[in-house]
């Protein structure tokens, strides 16, 4: 009984934290083995994020090796800072004092963001900007209220508004047609961007896949090794068990 109480006490704070967030997060089905997706994510990151955010714990050469990008291609197409060398860390030149003045907050380093915030959060955050003329950049975010970041992907996504819009609540069992209901406080696309909704979701999916890779570049290797370790332990158990029996034979 005591154990059950201890368990509940241990889990409660986590539950409380989850409930205070109160925002539905879309699931990111991370796939770190999909190299093409990681490469596309790296491209989007370098083009749209690196002006403000560094990946200061990652080196270009390691990234290139893990993502199967040849050195020349990487340096020509993905590293825009001409002072950078292949073995350099992916830092940026923006000064903290400047960015504080411009955005009200310094754009944080994103190497570990997918571990700190989790992939679901980042995936939902990047797709949850909406037009809000009261904010300095004219946008706000459902997941990160009064965020200091402009919606840098707006040209691709289009402009979302927050208001009353039809939401799919289920599907008709006979016809398979979606059943919609007008709901308040819902994001909807008011002006289309260069990409369709599905294409944009895919772009952000790849980007978050890449950030999940950068947060733990060794993840795939660790999981692969894990099976060998388990196999080793399983085999090792046999001699250890026999040895144990041998040791205790005369004692008992």
Instruction: Using alpha carbons, select from 112, 105, 72 the residue that is nearest to residue 90.
Output: 112
Cβ at position 148, least distance to ligand HEC in Å? 3
> What binding mask, one character per residue, do residues 101-140 give for ligand HEC by CB under 6 A, x or -?
--x-x-xx-x--x---x----x--xx--------------
Q: Kindly tell me which of 145 and 252 has the beta carbon lying closer to ligand HEC.
A: 145
Cβ at position 113, least distance to ligand HEC in Å? 5
Chosen residue from 42, 46, 90, 149 binding ligand HEC by CB under 6 A: 149
| Alpha carbons 60 and 37: distance in angstroms, whole number | 17
Q: What is the CA radius of gyration of the chain?
A: 24
Residue 189 gets the label, from left (phi > 0), alpha (psi -120 to 50) or beta, of: beta
Instruction: Using alpha carbons, select from 129, 117, 182, 183 the residue that is nearest to residue 155.
Output: 129
Cβ at position 152, least distance to ligand HEC in Å? 4
How many CB atoms within 10 Å of residue 211? 29
Chosen residue from 53, 67, 127, 143 binding ligand HEC by CB under 6 A: 53
Q: Kindly tell me which of 155 and 242 has the beta carbon lying closer to ligand HEC.
A: 155
| Alpha carbons 68 and 33: distance in angstroms, whole number | 12
Count of chain residues binding ligand HEC (CB under 6 A): 22
Report yes or no: 187 and 128 within 8 Å, Cβ to Cβ.
yes
Q: Kindly tell me which of 101 and 252 has the beta carbon lying closer to ligand HEC.
A: 101
* Interface residues toward ligand HEC, by CB under 6 A: 48-49, 51-53, 103, 105, 107-108, 110, 113, 117, 122, 125-126, 147-150, 152-153, 207
């Amino acid at each position: 009984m005591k154990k059950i109480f201890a368990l509940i006490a241990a889990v409660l704070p986590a539950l409380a934290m989850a409930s205070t967030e109160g925002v539905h997060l879309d699931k990111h089905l991370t796939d770190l083995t999909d190299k093409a997706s990681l490469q596309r994510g790296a491209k989007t990151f370098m083009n749209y994020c690196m002006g403000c955010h560094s990946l200061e714990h990652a080196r270009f050469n390691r990234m290139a090796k893990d993502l199967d990008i040849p050195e020349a291609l990487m340096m020509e197409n993905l590293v825009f800072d001409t002072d950078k060398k292949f073995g350099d860390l992916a830092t940026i030149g923006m000064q903290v004092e400047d960015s504080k003045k411009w955005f009200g907050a310094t754009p944080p380093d994103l190497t570990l963001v997918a571990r700190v915030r989790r992939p679901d959060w980042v995936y939902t955050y990047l797709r949850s900007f909406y037009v809000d003329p009261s904010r300095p950049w004219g946008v706000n975010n459902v997941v990160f209220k009064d965020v200091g970041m402009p919606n840098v992907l707006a040209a691709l996504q289009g402009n979302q508004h927050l208001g009353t819009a039809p939401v799919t609540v289920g599907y008709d069992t006979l016809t398979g047609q979606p059943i919609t209901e007008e709901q308040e406080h819902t994001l909807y696309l008011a002006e289309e961007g260069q990409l369709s909704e599905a294409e944009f979701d895919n772009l952000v999916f790849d980007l978050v896949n890449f950030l999940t890779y950068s947060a733990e570049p060794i993840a795939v290797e660790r999981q692969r090794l894990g099976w060998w370790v388990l196999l080793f332990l399983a085999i090792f158990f046999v001699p250890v068990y026999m040895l144990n029996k041998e040791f205790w034979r005369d004692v008992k």
